[in-house]
Structure 1
Amino acid sequence: MKKYFTTLLLLIPLITLAQSNYKPGYIINLNGDTVKGFVDYKDWNQNPKSINFKTGNNTQVDKQNTNNTQAFAVTGFEYYKRFTLAISMAKTNTSDLSTGMDSSSTTSAVFLRLITGGKNVSLYSFTDSLKTRYFIAEGNSVPTELTYRVFINPEDGSKTVTQTIYRRQLQVLIARYQPADKKTANQIQFSDYSESDLQKIVSKINGPNGQSKIKVESQNGLRFYVGLAANGTKTTSQGTAYLNSTSSTVNFFPEVHVGMDAFFNKNVGTVLIRTELSVTANKGNYNLQGAADGLLLAENITFNQKIITLNPQFLYNFYNKPTAKIYLAVGVGFNASFISNEKRNTSYYSLFDGAFVTSNVLTFNNSSSLLIDVTTKAGFTLNNKFDIYVGFSPEGSVNSRNTPLNIAFYKAGINYLFGKK
């Protein structure tokens, strides 16, 4: 099983590199000429350093970068423009902060992603392995970074200092272009260093009639679903010092679930985080056999079980077309197990001739426990409406009043997807 999971995780990035997703777009070359064609549109979690571009469906693919391209666009979705500018290098991750203010920067030629533009100012972003930064430009000027710093107080290592200089920068711009808009000026004082907050403020600075003609689409998106599944549960016992598990059955019960998909980039839809909440049941039935005190023991254990599962998953569409997608998903299941009506029927036989001696039945109190397991799924999506899949979770341990149990899950189901991305 470990080899299976390792192979699956190694294959996903290889498939990612191999898959192309050409969309209508254009580039602007160094001469300022616009060349229409098709851009290989990816789930860029960092600003791309280069892109693949072709002028026709069957033409040669050319690599475009900051050395030969001023700008490029995926029509209706994204627009990137090259700038040579100063980029801050101070870390903002709370687990890796500097002691004292870090104002270090580097000057590089990069592609900035346009978030929103207009007649007065334009808002851009740049994400690399360090962090996400936001830049603002007046007119056709080179963008300036909106400054946000977090660092450890050098005089008290138990405290951090947060510098929200970007708020002052935005206050200057709203006063310059929309001096009568006191409401937005007040909102800036409480704004977060986030795309959604900054985009709203920049739209106000540009005014209702000052938006850019370049159309871009937000990358963020959510989708919801409801579904039904046939959930198979196989229960075996870990046994005791003198009893070993001899047999078990796979019991199938209906499962109902609801979930939410959060896209890395809704316009591409290749990678997403799926969060699912499900409820199902199980009727456990397994046998134990052993010997003790000169007798053969045969035990049959039965119980009822309810299982509520929270299952976050990483889902990758390795075949990704507008009307059909094929995916793999790997996740972690947090399974709340509630066992009731647990009974142990024990029969005793002579060790010498196998003759029946006696039997007894014990009934146990209800029990509950948490099972954490790895989940895997493979499925396909049709017309962004129906999701059909099969899934498997290897054995995990659950406590009962009798003996510790191992439970594995098998399932096949269908989801109905709804809501705009």
Structure 2
Amino acid sequence: MKQLFCLLLLLSQAPLFLQAQSNYKPGYVINSKNDTLKGFVDYREWLKNPREINFKQTQAAATPQKFTVANANGFAITNAEYYDKFTVNISTSTVELAQLSHSPDTAYTTDTVFLQNLVNGKNVSLYAWTDNLKSSYYIFNKQTHTIEYLRQYLYFDEESRSVTGINGYISQLLRLAYQYLPGDTKIITRIQKANYAESDLTSAVIALNGGKATQQTVNSNSGVRFFAGAGLRYSKLQFNSSAGQAGPFSNGIHDNAISPVIAAGMDLLINKYTEKLLFRLEITGAVNSYHFSEASATNITTNALDVKVYHLSAVPQIMYNFYSTDKLKAFIDLGVAMNFYKYNNYNYTTTYHYSTITSVTAQNKYPDLQGFEFSIPVKAGVQINKRMEVYGAYWLPSSLSKYLYFSADQSAFQAGVNYIFR
């Protein structure tokens, strides 16, 4: 379809937009002289630890400064993520089941990198490093000013035919518990039960600080927002029939309807600081009125149908902002609509013309139109100044009937404006 081709063309051009976008948020950089430069950091949804960042001391600055481990000791996005520079051993073993070695792989490389600060405590701090292989965790001892890799090595045990782990991190954390919290049996139990996961390690390290540590990285970057809006929908109801098969109307007969549409819903933001990817649940409502009238080839009969369709939809969808700045975002959206239909007390009428005599027969609720059906809407648009959303959408055809030899397919174009509540 032409509409789908346009959408695919838009998707193919997305990388060009991605190169130009920025997302500056309040933060700071600690330069190589340990001076703190306050300003704005270009915040991305980093799936692995960044090697470099762009920084502006003012939003209006034309050219950003680039910082790496060569000229910065750390940086932060205020109230979101914090990074410090360390030279550490980075494990090169994999955790992918298909690639596991058959014995513990303790190989590592040494590198100077930005580690993400998960917990900042008076006794110990927890850091994370994520690369293409896995996420690794590090513990910084405030007393000795040393940082060490929390060791875990997974391998495939041929004898037991199962994945086996060497959990060195447990003994490392227990050693710190004996150092800072001697005699505390609760922390011992907590550490022994801890999995090699951010949530468990964060909980254990906060406990190692007496429960008073500052968790530098927020517990969750996710967020919720709500919206409401209105628009216009241009709908088409078309009858299609199999070759040689009779239906209420000829193959391809259709009618169009223009109706207002209202919408409201909520968005679940994967990262509320970047708003790049989100899940949306939208409720829409519209009323479409269709009129069909078709005369036979000899003009002896005329078939007619007037039907009003009350259309309520619940549409879970995925929205992706392929271009994203603080004031302007451009998005594409794909959903699966659960459509609920109600109809007026419609009749399918056949008018017979015999010379000067006219007779009319009516079939109530024919054709039988169903009350529920799925459809797929695709959408594209822009968000302006964080509040206003302007979009266009296309609803792919879905059938309102379940007859074997003919169908009544409804499709629609829609344009609208939403207001986002923050």
Pairwise same-fold verdict (TM > 0.5): yes
1:343-390 Cα offsets, whole Å, 9 max, x none, are 45243678xx9x9775432425562444242431424355x6x44433
Pair 1:330-2:338 in alignment? no
1: distance between equivalents of 2:288 and 2:373? 18
Per the alignment, residue 199 of structure 1 pairs with 202
Per the alignment, residue 315 of structure 2 pairs with 310
Pair 1:407-2:411 in alignment? yes
Pair 1:250-2:254 in alignment? no
1:31-58 Cα offsets, whole Å, 9 max, x none, are x443625454221232111123456765
User: 1:173: Cα distance to partner?
Assistant: 2.9
User: 1:85: Cα distance to partner?
Assistant: 2.9
Residue among 129, 132, 152 paired with 2:132: 129
2: distance between equivalents of 1:162 and 1:312? 39
After superposition, the Cα gap between the structure-2 partners of 1:218 and 1:126, relative to the gap in structure 1 and judged at 3 Å, is same
Per the alignment, residue 360 of structure 1 pairs with 362
Residue among 14, 33, 51 paired with 2:53: 51
The residue identity in structure 2 corresponding to 1:121 is V
1: distance between equivalents of 2:187 and 2:106? 31
| Number of equivalenced pairs | 401
Contact kept? 2:152, 2:168, Cα under 8 Å: yes
**Which moved further from structure 2: 402-411 or 114-123?**
402-411
User: 1:113: Cα distance to partner?
Assistant: 1.2
After superposition, the Cα gap between the structure-2 partners of 1:238 and 1:37, relative to the gap in structure 1 and judged at 3 Å, is same
2: distance between equivalents of 1:285 and 1:247? 6
Unaligned runs of 5+ in 2: 243-249
After superposition, the Cα gap between the structure-2 partners of 1:21 and 1:329, relative to the gap in structure 1 and judged at 3 Å, is closer
User: 1:132: Cα distance to partner?
Assistant: 2.8
- Which secondary structure state, in structure 2, belongs to the residue aligned with residue 239 of structure 1? strand
After superposition, the Cα gap between the structure-2 partners of 1:243 and 1:187, relative to the gap in structure 1 and judged at 3 Å, is same
Normalising by structure 1, we get a TM-score of 0.77
Pair 1:20-2:22 in alignment? yes
After superposition, the Cα gap between the structure-2 partners of 1:59 and 1:245, relative to the gap in structure 1 and judged at 3 Å, is closer
1:222-266 Cα offsets, whole Å, 9 max, x none, are 1231534346361322511442223221333433x33132233x3
Structure-to-structure mapping, 1:152-231, within 5 angstroms: 154=158, 166-208=169-211, 211=214, 217=218, 220-230=221-231
Pair 1:274-2:270 in alignment? no
Contact kept? 1:123, 1:134, Cα under 8 Å: yes
Per the alignment, residue 237 of structure 1 pairs with 238
After superposition, the Cα gap between the structure-2 partners of 1:222 and 1:300, relative to the gap in structure 1 and judged at 3 Å, is same
Pair 1:98-2:100 in alignment? yes
1:152-200 Cα offsets, whole Å, 9 max, x none, are 664677x655666544543443343223443344344444544344323
After superposition, the Cα gap between the structure-2 partners of 1:197 and 1:134, relative to the gap in structure 1 and judged at 3 Å, is same
After superposition, the Cα gap between the structure-2 partners of 1:273 and 1:60, relative to the gap in structure 1 and judged at 3 Å, is closer
Residue among 320, 325, 328 paired with 2:325: 320
1: distance between equivalents of 2:63 and 2:343? 68
After superposition, the Cα gap between the structure-2 partners of 1:409 and 1:168, relative to the gap in structure 1 and judged at 3 Å, is farther
The residue identity in structure 1 corresponding to 2:277 is L
Per the alignment, residue 141 of structure 1 pairs with 146
1:98-140 Cα offsets, whole Å, 9 max, x none, are 3756636441332211112223221111223343332222232
Per the alignment, residue 348 of structure 2 pairs with 345
Contact kept? 2:170, 2:192, Cα under 8 Å: yes
2: distance between equivalents of 1:92 and 1:332? 33
Per the alignment, residue 398 of structure 1 pairs with 399
1:251-298 Cα offsets, whole Å, 9 max, x none, are 33433x33132233x3x3341313214252444525375868997664
The residue identity in structure 2 corresponding to 1:407 is S
- Which secondary structure state, in structure 1, belongs to the residue aligned with residue 206 of structure 2? helix
1:53-73 Cα offsets, whole Å, 9 max, x none, are 456765864433234444334
Contact kept? 2:235, 2:288, Cα under 8 Å: no
2: distance between equivalents of 1:317 and 1:45? 16
Residue among 79, 83, 86 paired with 2:86: 83
Residue among 373, 383, 390 paired with 2:376: 373
1: distance between equivalents of 2:415 and 2:375? 17
Per the alignment, residue 110 of structure 1 pairs with 113
Per the alignment, residue 267 of structure 2 pairs with 260
2: distance between equivalents of 1:5 and 1:145? 46
2: distance between equivalents of 1:371 and 1:153? 48
2: distance between equivalents of 1:334 and 1:24? 39
After superposition, the Cα gap between the structure-2 partners of 1:306 and 1:59, relative to the gap in structure 1 and judged at 3 Å, is closer
The residue identity in structure 1 corresponding to 2:48 is Q
Larger Cα Rg: Structure 1 or Structure 2?
2
